[in-house]
Structure 1
Amino acid sequence: MDKATGTATPIINRGNWETLLFPLPPINEQERIVAKITELTHFLGIYSNKQEELNKLNSNMYQRLKKAILQEAIQGKLVPQIAEEGTAQELLEQIKTEKQKLVKEGKLKKSALSDSVIFRGDDNKYWEKKSATCECINEDIPFDIPKSWAWVRLETILSIGSARRVHAKDWRQTGIPFYRAREIGKLADDGFVDNELYIDLSLYEDFSSSGVPLPNDLMITAVGTLGKVYIVKESDKFYYKDGSVLCLANKYGLCAEYLKMVIESPSFKGQYRQESEGTTVATLTMVRLQKYFIPLPPLQEQYRIVETYRNIASIMS
């Protein structure tokens, strides 16, 4: 390389080749060197394969451990319960009062008040009361939770919405960001988008009357790769594609990070994966999503769970 000329394509002429120094051992030693290198190359190949297997095992172990801790968290096993923090039933009463207020103000439909109530009976089974009916749902509940927690349908604590139709002819190169499932997935995984589409500000303002994502709302991918969750930030201003993305409006001030943990947990994913089996394209619909079960702790405990989970995740990484 010292004798090569040229930058884009280094060249060594014949004369320079002939002057290069060459370390020459005896012929028998040459053969022993080749034999040893051949032997070591074989073992290096084995070592390389084992290292790849170890790297894969470590990665899989991390993911499995993360999922296991996440599952423990939403079952009430990651942090202790503190009586002074109240109960989920008290939190649900506060949500009910807020709903009644929003209905009076015309900001919420009256049908939102007809939530189900899930409770554990004297027979130690889970029951769901809807209006005048009461049905045993014990087989639908995936696991037990602490007494201060409550099982709820997602529609009880979050308002699920979709977007108004945006046609491809309305896409722009500048303006208000317009996110499809792929962009929401990218935001959920990496925190940024590098292939943004846009719509005109005037169109965004027109759609605002029907509702746009607000801080601490949760955006969830509903087509293809299901269940990617992005929490809307204070600085965000965007619109989203109908059908492929759903907005879970966090109207009642719940801990968005905890809700994200639940939605990303193995047990919650199992609810919609089971319904998607045998379908050509996996989808999440508003009707199906609002009926899924969520374990709800008191509000302060939600934040303690998130903080503890973050600390453990930082140590693992």
Structure 2
Amino acid sequence: MNAERLLTLYERVAEAPDAVPRLRRFVLDLAVRGKLVAQDASDEPASELLKRIAAEKARLVKAGEMKVRKLQARERSEPLDFTLPTGWGLTELGTVSMKITDGAHKTPTYVEKGVPFVSVKDFSGGKLDLSNTRFIPESEHQVLYQRCDARRGDILLGRIGTLGKAVLVDTDVEFSLFVSVGLIRFDHQNLLPEFFRLLLNSPFVEDEFDRIKIGGGTHTNKLNLGDLHTVALPLPPLAEQRRIVAKVEELMALLDRLETACTAREATRDRLTAASLARLTAPDADAADFPVNARFALATLPALTTRPDQIKPLRQTILNLAVRGKLVEQDPADEPASELLKRIAAAKADAKGRKGARAKGVPAEAETMNADFPTGWASVRLDNVAVSMRYGTSIKCDYDKRLVPVLRIPNVSSGQVVLDDMKHGPLSKADREALSLEADDLLLIRSNGSLDIVGRAAVVPPEAAGMAFAGYLVRLQTLRDAINSRYIWLALNSGAVREQIERPIRSAVGLKNVNLTEVGNLSFWLPPLAEQLRIVAKVDALMALCDRLEAALTTADTTRARLLEALLQEALAPPARTMAAAE
């Protein structure tokens, strides 16, 4: 075993996805292959244990305490992928077990107080947990107990639904079992139940369960009691079973401490990252402190960002900084946003007689945007910057390409217009003209079952010009020489605007909706047009950096995972194998 190499390179693989759970499986795999502890030539071989177990079973049958069960020896279709150590034997579960049964096949009567009724859900953290069981009457328990008399030292095995999870009965409290739980009893004089709990949870026996499990009918995953008898088991001497159990417990405790330390480290990183980003975007932050906070964040974030999922809050911070005027410098020479609003108002007056739904009512200003805004900026509502807003068509669409292409929620839910799955509809000439999209229009989702999707928008690209749009979308058109649609898209994805969208509908059941008036009421800060362009360019550049960082972290995760896999394979393989694949 090349465990030394695994320890040498551990720091490189410790943060691989699921490293600790995989190491736990690795420990069990080593244990049942005889590679975890040294063999002792003076140990009584497993063959002698099997002889005594057979004699004890014959005695119990003769005394009428055990039923005769004829078991046919099974030839393995494939040889073992490892050599059994000296003193070990290969047997089957039916050969070494004294009893294999299961629980109640009918739903019992549940009562408030009575005898615990155990199902697979009571297997918690690899142990039997009676703290949250349901209860059945004593009378029903006594009937079940005649067949399934669980006692200390027995193994309980999930055999329906949650397959193969084995726990040891370590209590003298009487309980009954549901049909989803199998009970396995061993000869405690010749076998160690604690070892068999480890064995039945090992990858080797998992493969055996995969061989015998059945599907179909009521249960899609099931282990038949009769088939359990045929599960192959590598059997060490009794003394070695004890050494293996002690070593596994020692290593599992070490891995528990490692997992706790890793979890604490990641939680600390997440808190530090959140605190660093919050200092940049806090609404009441002193502008004079921003340069110091920004330098601190830039200095600490590279060390704190170690996982791909940590890039999302970084992206959100970039957006939040962008729409608060903290991403690029202001230029006093820029035409102020107030002048842009005048031109938009004039354009709206010219378009007053045109068809199309308009937001009505008195829009309310969002509290989140009440702070002082940068020089040249203006506090606006979406209705202030829109020349036109309207719903799309509710006509039924299909894949007939002879009709008018219609963009739907799936085409815009990713934040950009995707033309892969297009449907078409029989629109009239008037509707086709009214709903015809232009490049740089904004499409916003107004209704969806997912809270995160409602209010998401996409900028219409040139290739989608002339297409129509569906009724669950809102089209926003504005003045091209006053507003950059990409900036409005950034504002709609900022934390302040997302809060305005999500807060009123967060508790809604089923579909979550925003209407045209609510969309028009969304408030944010509008910079001068020249600064809008600078902000969009800066955000694009920073998002490209985020893309590269996310890709690098994903690659690092993949590399660590592959290295861990190669190290584990090497540790289980014969010494002649090399690590060329992992280098």
Give me the TM-score of the superposition, normalised by structure 2: 0.40
Distance 1:266 1:260 in 2: 12
> 1:115 matched to which residue of 2?
none
Counterpart of 2:344 in structure 1 is 95
Which residue does 1:164 correspond to in 2? 393
Equivalent-residue separation in structure 1 for 2:458 and 2:383 (angstroms)? 18
| Helix, strand or coil at the partner of 1:85 | coil
Name the counterpart of 2:329.
80
1:99 deviates by: 4.5
Bigger drift between 70-79 and 138-147 goes to 138-147
Partner of 1:239: 468
Give 5+ residue unaligned stretches, structure 2.
1-73, 89-236, 271-306, 356-361, 551-583
Equivalent in the alignment of 2:498: 269
Shift of 1:142: 3.2
State the alpha-carbon separation in 2 of the partners of residues 161 and 149 from structure 1: 27
Equivalents in 2 of 1:70, 1:78: separation in Å?
A: 9
Give 2:398's aligned amino acid. Answer: W
RMSD: 3.9
1:218 and 2:442 correspond:
yes
Q: Summarize the alignment of residues 296-307 of structure 1 with structure 2, pairs less than 5 Å apart.
A: 296-307=526-537
User: Shift of residue 35 of structure 1?
Assistant: 3.6
Select the residue among 22, 32, 36 that pairs with 2:247.
36
Alignment match, 2:401: 174
Q: Which moved more, 1:232-241 or 1:219-228?
A: 232-241
Matched, 1:199 2:425: yes
**Are 2:369 and 1:150 aligned?**
no
| Secondary structure of the structure 1 residue equivalent to 2:389 | strand
CA distance in 1: counterparts of 2:495 and 2:250, whole angstroms? 47
- Contact 1:151–1:296 (CA<8 Å) still a contact in 2? yes
Please identify, of 247-256 and 261-270, the stretch whose mean Cα deviation from structure 2 is larger: 247-256
Give the corresponding residue for 1:62: 311
Within 2, Cα distance between the matches of 1:65 and 1:33? 47
- Alpha carbons of structure 1 residues 19 and 47: separation in structure 2 relative to 1, 3 Å: closer
Q: 2:84 aligns to what SS in structure 1?
A: coil
- Greater radius of gyration (CA): 2
Cα shift at 1:73: 1.3
Q: How big is the shift at 1:154?
A: 1.5
Aligned match for 2:86, one of 24, 32, 40: 24
* In the alignment, structure 1 residue 294 sits paired with structure 2 residue 518: no
Contact 1:85 1:298 in 2 (8 A): yes
CA distance in 1, matches of 2:353, 2:540: 38
Question: What SS does the aligned partner of 2:424 have?
Answer: strand
Q: Does 1:249 align with 2:477?
A: yes
Q: CA deviation at 1:233?
A: 0.5
Structure 1 pair 45/245, CA: closer, same or farther in 2 (3 Å)? farther
Deviation at 1:37, TM superposition (A): 4.1
Instruction: Give the residue type in structure 1 aligned to 2:539.
Output: Y
Match of 2:107 in 1: none
- Partners of 1:273 and 1:95 lie apart in 2 by 28
Alpha-carbon distance in structure 2 between the residues aligned to 1:264 and 1:209:
30
Contact 2:368 2:496 in 1 (8 A): no
* Residue 309 (structure 1) aligned with residue 539 (structure 2): yes
| 8 Å CA contact 1:223, 1:282 repeated in 2 | yes
Give the AA of the match of 2:458.
Answer: Y
**Equivalent-residue separation in structure 1 for 2:487 and 2:384 (angstroms):** 16
SS of the aligned residue for 2:486 comes to helix
Q: 1:198 to 1:44 in 2, by over 3 A?
A: farther
Stretches of structure 1 lacking an aligned partner (at least 5 in a row): 1-11, 113-129, 131-135
CA separation of 1:204 and 1:65: change in aligned 2, threshold 3 A: farther
Deviations 1:78-134 (A, max 9, x none): 11101222211232334345446xx2xxxx11699xxxxxxxxxxxxxxxxx9xxxx
> CA separation of 1:217/1:18 partners in 2, compared to 1, >3 Å: closer, same or farther?
closer
Q: 1:164 and 1:198, CA in 2 relative to 1: closer, same or farther beyond 3 A?
A: closer
Confirm or deny: 8 A CA contact 2:443 2:475 kept in the other structure. Answer: yes
* Aligned-pair CA distance for 1:258: 1.0
Q: Does 1:228 align with 2:456?
A: yes
The alignment of Structure 1 onto Structure 2 pairs a total of residues equal to 272
The CA deviation at 1:66 is: 2.8
Q: Which moved more, 1:285-294 or 1:36-45?
A: 36-45
SS in 1 for 2:544: helix
Structure 2 counterpart of 1:188: 415
Cα offset, 1:234, TM superposition = 0.6
Corresponding letter in the other structure for 1:188:
G
- Distance, in Å, in 1 between the alignment partners of 2:332 and 2:345 is 22
- Percent identical residues: 21
1:204–1:239 distance in 2 versus 1, CA, 3 Å: farther
Per-residue Cα deviation, 1:136-194 (whole angstroms, up to 9, x for no partner): 9696743321121111221221121112331x3x4335354433334421x427x6366
Return the TM-score normalized by structure 1. Answer: 0.69
- AA of the residue aligned to 2:399: R
Instruction: State the shift of 1:251 in Å.
Output: 3.5
Taking a change above 3 Å as real, the CA distance of residues 44 and 209 of structure 1, as seen in their structure-2 partners, is same
The answer for the alignment partner of 2:512 in structure 1 is 282
Give the Cα–Cα distance (whole angstroms) in 1 for the partners of residues 80 and 508 of structure 2.
69
Name the SS of the counterpart of 1:83 in structure 2. Answer: coil
SS in 1 for 2:322: helix
Distance, in Å, in 1 between the alignment partners of 2:503 and 2:497 is 10
- How big is the shift at 1:65? 3.3
Q: Distance in 2 between matches of 1:287 and 1:188?
A: 22
